[in-house]
Structure 1
Amino acid sequence: MSISSLQASINRLQNDLSDLQKKISVEKKKESDATIKATKAHQSISKTKSQSTIKTKLSEISRCQTDIAKASKKQAELHKKIADKNKLLVRDQQKLAKETEKEQTRQLNNQASVNDEIRQELDVYKTLIRQSPELPHLEGAESYDLFISHASEDKESFVRPLANELERIGLKVWFDERIFKIGDSISGTIDKGILNSKFGVAILSQQFFSKYWTKYEYRGLLTRESQGFKVLLPIWYGINKTDVIQFSPTLADTYAFQYPQDSIEFMAKKLKELVDET
């Protein structure tokens, strides 16, 4: 049984238990009302000598006793149902705990595998940099304030408006659609952009996490940071901390802007302040 199915079953059982408790409360009130009514009838009998009144009150007491018995029996039935439901609840909670532990172990194993893969690719990337002394960052290359790493699916809705705002306030931005020319080497152009940018803004999204080239750019920015530079500036776009942790636990610990909580204008202003400080 899956975690989601177990959680749904637990939710149903908890709702059932809540309903049963409410029904017990109703039956307790019935029992209490009948007891009070029977007590009053007894008191009336002790205060009267009228045979007809006594007969009426005795009948009333008899009905109250019947109601009390019914309410008591109903409560016993409800308590049994609660006991049965609680057994099922404990069973499902134990199963959920086991399945959750298995899932956490699986995710940790997967993350360890991903981390190994990232380390291997970072080593390759560092080697490529060492073997490429002719890269233009060493001499007379065009430099940029910000390198924007993003998935193409996020370009229209968010990345292009952000790039436009950054350029409007005076920043020089490496933005792929304004950089690439026909015949350019994709990896070579990206490498030069990363090497010649002060910072790299990574637009983290579900699309970003799944693309080859965004992962390539991300690892390039990590390589810059491994050389002692503060480079990577993350922006969370339509994701949460859990999503980031699944991609990279260490990245989740890095302060990030979050869109739409943070506006494009606000983020652009703060990025310019950071660039101006360097």
Structure 2
Amino acid sequence: MDGGGSIQKRLAVNNGPLEIIYRDEQIIAINKPHGLLVHRTKIATERDVFALQLLRDQIGQRVYPVHRIDRKTSGILLFALNEDVNARLSTLFREQQIAKTYWAIVRGFTDATGTIDYALKKDNGQLQESITHYKTLAQTEIPVPLGKFETSRYSLVEVQPETGRMHQIRKHLAHIHHPIIADRPHGCNKQNRLFKDKWSMDSMLLHAKELEFKHPVTHDVLRLRAKISSEFERTLSFLKFEKIIS
């Protein structure tokens, strides 16, 4: 199974709580663990540990998060090291000039490829165009009954969101009836309970695996990759995916 790396540079992990997968004078990228918020937010006032503060303290300088991934999502998270580069990277994200690739483990057998074009509502009720592309990397069927089915089927999918709406991938995969395992509230409660009771697994299986973009200063093409988490790896193993993709 794939590790990580970059076509430009890969750094050893600094001594600290966060895995740094890329760093130069302008930008830094980490492999954010599941459950860690990017920064302080009103929706999780009980939390007092955040990626922004941890990284700032770890490298001893101010950092600027140029995008967000959900608390429950693991994977690559990009920061700028100064305000000018932060503005440039934010523009690249806004203009959809950064290619984002995720891995997800979902319920059922997905089509070989697909595009989900389904508008999503903002908090104020306004509809936003939302487009997600996916392809199936592997499928597995295991002899674990659930409900009226004697076996359980799962797919490992590679997902590339064209737009960047809140919870877009989670909502879109649920919309096509292939919810992400351990997703709450968009997932399947029966599957989530099965994974927790049978395998003690309750980490949402969505991983931000890769970012590809032109460096805002050097203009070199960067392809940054983040290793999947140990829980994601363990799930691939007990679902017997490793026989398919290793």
TM-score > 0.5 by shorter chain: no
Q: Which of structures 1 and 2 has the larger relative contact order (alpha carbons within 8 angstroms, sep 6+)?
A: 2
Higher helix residue share = 1
Larger radius of gyration: 1
| TM bucket normalised to smaller | under 0.3
